[in-house]
Amino acid sequence: MAKREGWLGRLGNRLNRMEARLNERRAEVEAEASGDLPGCGGPGRAPAGRAASAGAAVSGASSASGTATAVAAPPVAVPVAPAPHLAAPAAPTRPDPASVVPWGMRVAAEASWRLLLLAGMLWVLMKVISEVRLVVLAFAAAMLVTAMLQPFVVRLRRLGLPRGLATAVTAILGFVVIGLVGWFVVWQVMENLDDLSDRVRDGINELKLWALDSPFHVTEKQINDIAKNLSETIGTNTEQITSAGLQGVTVLVEVLTGILLAMFSTLFLLYDGKRIWTWALGLVPAAARAGVAGAGPRAWRTLTAYVRGTVIVALIDAIFIGLGIYFLDVPMAVPLAVFIFLFAFIPLVGAVVSGALAVVVALVTQGVFTALMVLLVVLAVQQIEGHVLQPFILGRAVRVHPLAVVLSVAAGGMIAGIGGAVVAVPLVAVTNTVVGYLKAYSRDQHHLGAGMIGPAPHGSTALGAVPDRENTTP
């Protein structure tokens, strides 16, 4: 009986040890699943195997000290403390992509897409202007004529005339003067056309004789070949010349339409210019309205100064060059002077073209010596104009760099022909005035504490404008 009890006690101890090992293994598996290291516990935690052995020893002692008649108790599972959860190592946080990109690259990227947007808008604007070029040029011409005639309206108003009467008198007198100038030019050309053709024929013969006696070794056969090729070219291109004539009729109709549009636009701008400006100013957003309201009058003063100064300079050029041509006995001196006056509205390029026209007429009618004298007169007057008249009359209000003048005239001529070349320089002068004023206005507002005009910085470039909250003290 005692042997049976001892065998049962040993069997119970073995079962308890097996259960303890199973519990220990289960704890290790759970620890591995949760990311903890197996077998490492805190200072107050005993390993599962040691706890199981202690439980087995206690159970064996109790069974050995039991009575002979007592039956061994079923094996009791010893509770094992669960392994504490160890926090997994935190994943490294990635910085904001915008903060990693260098500041210069961020600024370049945001400036690039804005420039692309502006380029697209300008392209669309140019396409629209090219489609309605006649209307745009007519309105631009009306603005130039209005800038020239408005001082007369102001003076008539000061004399006591009503606004409508002052506008009507100024507009009628202005249109009559412009019409008389155009009629006088056409009349002089038609009046001197026969004489000019005879003189051109004589001049060509003189040039032929001069070329034969020149050191260039030109033969009469070469000159005759050139004349024959020229006549053949004209004969073979008769269809193109005829189509060009038909296109000339279309151009004439467009010019007449543009003149009528310009006349009506000038009349309404002289009469109701302030109300039109007020209406246009209402279309501007409220945040930028104050700046635009200040830039508008300055732009108009710049345009008025440009037109007034250009008229005075062109008149002086036409008078002095016309007198020089007249005293050199060049035919059509007065029409050439009028052409010089009109072409003076195209800075730099117009003076060259009108002077070259006068020199060519002198060359084919009076010979080489007279042409050289006309060239000297033209160069002298243009030098006085460029270094004395323009700085004194135009002043700093419409000062534009010569490179900007050349580029703007070239761009205007490519976009809209002669009309675009005439409008290009005043447009650049007005734009320069507006941009300069808006920059000064924005700077003054910033110094006065009004803050930045427009929305606050945003996007990736706004990172540098946000203060660091960790380094700021309350």
Full DSSP string of 63-123? HHTS-SSPPPPPP-PPP-PPPPPPPPPPPPPPPPHHHHS-HHHHHHHHHHHHHHHHHHHHH
Any domain includes 338: yes
Which are the contacts of 83, defined by CB distance < 8 A and separation ≥ 6? 27, 30, 31, 36, 41, 45
Any domain includes 302: yes
Per-residue pLDDT band for 455 (boundaries 50, 70, 90) equals: low
Q: What is the pLDDT of residue 119?
A: 92
Per-residue pLDDT band for 63 (boundaries 50, 70, 90) equals: very low
Q: What is the pLDDT of residue 285?
A: 87
Q: Are 408 and 425 in contact (CB under 8 A)?
A: yes
Q: What is the pLDDT of residue 208?
A: 72
Q: Which helix (H) or strand (E) holds 317?
A: helix 286-327
Any domain includes 304: yes
CA distance 128 to 109: 29
Q: Between helices 163-191 and 238-282, what is the axis angle to 10°? A: 160
Q: Quick check: 48 pLDDT over 60?
A: no
Any domain includes 181: no
Residues 169-227 have pLDDT tens digits of: 988 998 898 888 878 877 877 777 776 666 667 767 777 777 777 666 667 777 777 76
Residue that is last in its domain, among 15, 49, 64: 64
Query: Which carries the bigger pLDDT value, residue 51 or residue 228?
Result: 228
Which of 123-127, 294-298, 328-332 has the weakest average pLDDT?
Answer: 328-332
Any domain includes 437: yes
Residues 306-329 have pLDDT tens digits of: 888 888 888 888 899 989 888 888
Residues 402-447 have pLDDT tens digits of: 788 788 888 888 877 777 888 888 888 888 888 888 888 888 877 7
Any domain includes 410: yes
What single DSSP character describes residue 457?
Answer: P
Q: What is the pLDDT of residue 32?
A: 77
Per-residue pLDDT band for 247 (boundaries 50, 70, 90) equals: low
Domain that holds residue 40: 2-64
Q: Quick check: 374 pLDDT over 80?
A: yes
Any domain includes 397: yes
Q: Are 316 and 389 in contact (CB under 8 A)?
A: yes
Residues 102-147 have pLDDT tens digits of: 888 888 888 899 999 999 998 898 888 888 888 888 898 899 889 8
Per-residue pLDDT band for 1 (boundaries 50, 70, 90) equals: low
Q: Quick check: 376 pLDDT over 90?
A: yes
pLDDT winner (highest mean) among 62-66, 174-178, 247-251: 174-178
Q: What is the mean pLDDT of the chain?
A: 75
Q: What is the mean pLDDT of residues 234-263?
A: 69
- pTM tops 0.85: no
pLDDT winner (highest mean) among 94-108, 247-261, 349-363, 380-394: 349-363
Residues 68-101 have pLDDT tens digits of: 344 444 455 545 555 454 445 555 677 777 777 7
Q: What is the pLDDT of residue 474?
A: 39
Q: How many structural domains does the chain have?
A: 2
Q: Are 170 and 145 in contact (CB under 8 A)?
A: no
Q: Quick check: 459 pLDDT over 70?
A: no
Query: Which carries the bigger pLDDT value, residue 458 or residue 472?
Result: 458
